[in-house]
Amino acid sequence: MTVKSVIEELDALYPEMIELRRHFHQYPELSHREVNTPRTIANYLENLGIDVRTNVGGQGVVGHIKGGRPGKTVALRADFDALPLQDQKNVPYRSTGPGVMHACGHDAHTSALLTAAKALAKHQKDLKGNVVLIHQFGEEVTPGGAKPMIEAGCLEGVDAIFGTHIWAPMPVGQVGVTSGPMMAAADKFKVTISGRGGHGGAPHLTTDALITGASVVNHLQQIVSRRIDPTEAAVLSIGTFHSGQAFNVIAEEAVIEGTVRTFSKHVQETIIAEMERVIKGVCDSNGASFSLDYEKGYPPVVNHEKETDIVRQCAKRIVGPEAVIELEPNMIGEDFSYYLEHVPGSFFFTGAGNPQTGAVYPHHHPLFDIDEKGMLNAAKILVSAALAFLNQD
């Protein structure tokens, strides 16, 4: 078996890859509610003669391809959950689920890994080592599917792991790699401010939660710019602010929700402490009380250098050296980070944007779509990286 022969196999399987992707796109399932998707995945793998475990950590599916020659074990991961969005595309494979849509490319991740499994299974007797196929549920909603799948043993015996995200902001044909921090820790918070409501004409008899909340928002936005070392990356964003019921009533409560994104645990803890200090100070000065519900999300995605170099070299052979770019770290979260805390590996972006095919909308948009050639590139790089890792001396 050669890498070239498996790549050629993937080229031949491209129509099937498209068919699979469009099936998953038509029948999406929300995070942690996946039923038919994991069943379809398991049936596909079983029909290839691959050993399959289902209900791993929840709705997870894990396939094992045991090579005919002894060697190490490498894992490849794809997620398969969808988002609570109404698909507004006018295409034959438009979502049939009301208010549910694959708007992030997880349908493409799944299809790429399934056909990669088919190409590898055909050469199983010549395979040096083993390949673990991790089909993960629930990536879009914390606590995510990676952590429970790891706790259920999906990484047992695994020496390295690779994964990719189809990336519409990047043109199809490009691949983005980086070693070290790649994606941020993604936390969320909720601040509830309690005051004393009353008549709009008698504000002196009230404790205005809305005004207090507005001041809290203003002060929170100064934490990153004034309390965090400017050489460190961090984001604190307010997403919602709800307060008040009527135009002539002083609000008794204000609820503020937002997100914090960091790469450093020290920066994360500093922001949490500063939030407590700032909110308490503002509320004390206004005579209000508060509660802060801070939920730590996925840790940052930190790629390992050797495995990233494997991806980089494989990508250069697949799409050409000029099409492989070095990524800057971004503030989007991904629970692939949990895998990288347990075994070395690398996560990379595979370009799938193309104005000519209508793939111009951002992820999590109701018109989101991809150039499907991107998932073929993804499958080829994943397979190449897996074989390069297994075949290295």
Indicate if 121 and 27 belong to the same structural domain.
yes
Active site residue 81: yes
Phi, psi of 2 (to 5 degrees): -120, 160
322 is catalytic: no
Domain that holds residue 344: 3-182+300-391
**Residue 40: partners with Cβ closer than 8 Å, 6 or more residues away:** 23, 24
Task: Tell me, yes or no, whether 198 and 178 share the same domain.
Answer: no
Boundary (domain end) residue, out of 269, 298, 327: 298
* Cα–Cα dist 61/387, whole Å: 22
Instruction: Assess whether 244 and 385 both reside in one domain.
Output: no
pLDDT of residue 1: 64
- The domain tally of the chain equals 2
From CA 161, how far away is CA 313, in angstroms rounded?
16
Do 363 and 255 share a structural domain?
Answer: no
Same domain, 157 and 289: no
Statement to judge: residues 80 and 223 lie in one domain: no
Report residue 259 as tokens.
Answer: 């997100």
293 burial type by CB count under 10 A (0-12 exposed, 13-18 middle, 19+ buried):
exposed
Q: Do 154 and 198 lie in a common domain?
A: no
- pLDDT value at residue 146: 98
Please provide the size of the chain in residues: 393
* pLDDT given at position 2: 81
Question: pLDDT below 70 — which residues of the chain?
Answer: 1, 393
Residue from 9, 29, 87, 139 carrying the catalytic annotation: 139
The pLDDT score that the predictor gives to residue 156 is: 98
Q: For residue 316, what pLDDT is reported?
A: 98
Q: What is the CATH number of the domain that holds 176?
A: 3.40.630.10
Tell me the CATH number at 265: 3.30.70.360
Whether 167 and 239 share a structural domain: no
Global pTM reads 0.93
25, 156: one domain: yes
pLDDT (0 to 100) of residue 58: 98
Pick the catalytic residue from 29, 34, 79, 81.
81
- 219/160 same-domain check: no
Same domain, residue pair 207 and 68: no
Taken in order 226, 231, 232, 237, the sign of the CA dihedral is positive
